[in-house]
Amino acid sequence: MVLLVKKDVNNMLQSVVVKKHEKIKYQAATFYNLSNNYYDHDFKVDKHWHNSIEITYVVQGEKLQKMENKEILAREGTLLLVNSGVSHSVEAKKGIEGIMLLIDRNYIDNLCPKVTDKRFDIDKNESVKQRIINHLFQAIAEKYQNNGIRCTINVLEIIDLFTTYLVDDNYYPKEKHDDELYELAISICEYLDYNYKNRISLDDLAKLTNYNKSYLATAFKKKMGITIFEYLSNVRIQHSLDDLKNSNDTIVEIALNNGFANIQIFNKTFKKVFNMTPKQYRNKNLK
Give the whole-angstrom CA distance, residue 50 versus residue 285.
Answer: 26
**Are 270 and 14 contacting, i.e. CB atoms less than 8 angstroms apart?**
no
**Are 49 and 105 contacting, i.e. CB atoms less than 8 angstroms apart?**
no
Give the whole-angstrom CA distance, residue 106 versus residue 221.
Answer: 20
Task: Tell me, yes or no, whether 36 and 107 share the same domain.
Answer: yes
Task: Tell me, yes or no, whether 156 and 80 share the same domain.
Answer: yes
What does the DSSP assignment read for 2-15?
Answer: ---S--EET---SS
Task: Tell me, yes or no, whether 153 and 29 share the same domain.
Answer: yes
Task: Tell me, yes or no, whether 65 and 147 share the same domain.
Answer: yes
Task: Tell me, yes or no, whether 148 and 20 share the same domain.
Answer: yes
Q: Looking at the domain assignment, is residue 3 inside a domain?
A: no
The backbone region for 90, taken as left when phi is positive above 0, alpha when psi lies in -120 to 50, beta otherwise, is: beta
Q: Looking at the domain assignment, is residue 228 inside a domain?
A: yes
- Alpha helices (H) in the chain, listed in sequence order: 105-111, 126-144, 148-165, 179-195, 202-209, 213-224, 228-246, 251-257, 263-274, 278-286
Helix (H, G, I), strand (E, B) or coil at 82: strand
Query: Residue 92: enclosing H or E segment and its boundaries?
Result: strand 88-104
Residue 56: per-residue pLDDT: 96
Task: State the 10-residue block means of pLDDT for the chain, 287 residues long.
Answer: 34 35 61 88 80 93 87 94 86 88 92 90 95 97 94 97 93 56 81 91 88 87 86 90 89 94 92 88 77
Residue 179: per-residue pLDDT: 57
**Are 136 and 158 contacting, i.e. CB atoms less than 8 angstroms apart?**
yes
User: What is the Cβ-side half-sphere exposure of residue 116, based on CA atoms within 13 angstroms?
Assistant: 10
Task: Tell me, yes or no, whether 91 and 57 share the same domain.
Answer: yes
pTM of the model: 0.60
Please state the domain count of the chain. Answer: 2
Q: Which CATH number do you get for residue 264?
A: 1.10.10.60
End-of-domain residue from the set 109, 130, 165: 165
Task: Tell me, yes or no, whether 106 and 133 share the same domain.
Answer: yes
Query: Residue 52: enclosing H or E segment and its boundaries?
Result: strand 52-67
Give the whole-angstrom CA distance, residue 272 versus residue 269.
Answer: 5
Q: Looking at the domain assignment, is residue 173 inside a domain?
A: no
Q: Looking at the domain assignment, is residue 266 inside a domain?
A: yes
Please return the burial class of 138, using the count of CB atoms within 10 Å of its CB with bins 0-12, 13-18 and 19+: middle
Q: Looking at the domain assignment, is residue 46 inside a domain?
A: yes
Task: Tell me, yes or no, whether 161 and 191 share the same domain.
Answer: no
Domain boundaries, position 145: 8-165
Task: Tell me, yes or no, whether 120 and 186 share the same domain.
Answer: no
Give the whole-angstrom CA distance, residue 103 versus residue 2.
Answer: 24
> For 248, which DSSP code?
-
**Are 76 and 62 contacting, i.e. CB atoms less than 8 angstroms apart?**
yes
What does the DSSP assignment read for 106-121?
Answer: HHHHHH-GGGTT--B-
Measuring CA to CA, which residue among 44, 84, 87, 36 is closest to residue 60?
36
Task: Tell me, yes or no, whether 37 and 127 share the same domain.
Answer: yes
Residue 221: per-residue pLDDT: 86
Task: Tell me, yes or no, whether 138 and 34 share the same domain.
Answer: yes
Task: Tell me, yes or no, whether 70 and 184 share the same domain.
Answer: no
Give the whole-angstrom CA distance, residue 74 versus residue 93.
Answer: 12
Q: Which CATH number do you get for residue 131?
A: 2.60.120.10
Q: Looking at the domain assignment, is residue 252 inside a domain?
A: yes
**Are 142 and 151 contacting, i.e. CB atoms less than 8 angstroms apart?**
yes
Q: Looking at the domain assignment, is residue 1 inside a domain?
A: no
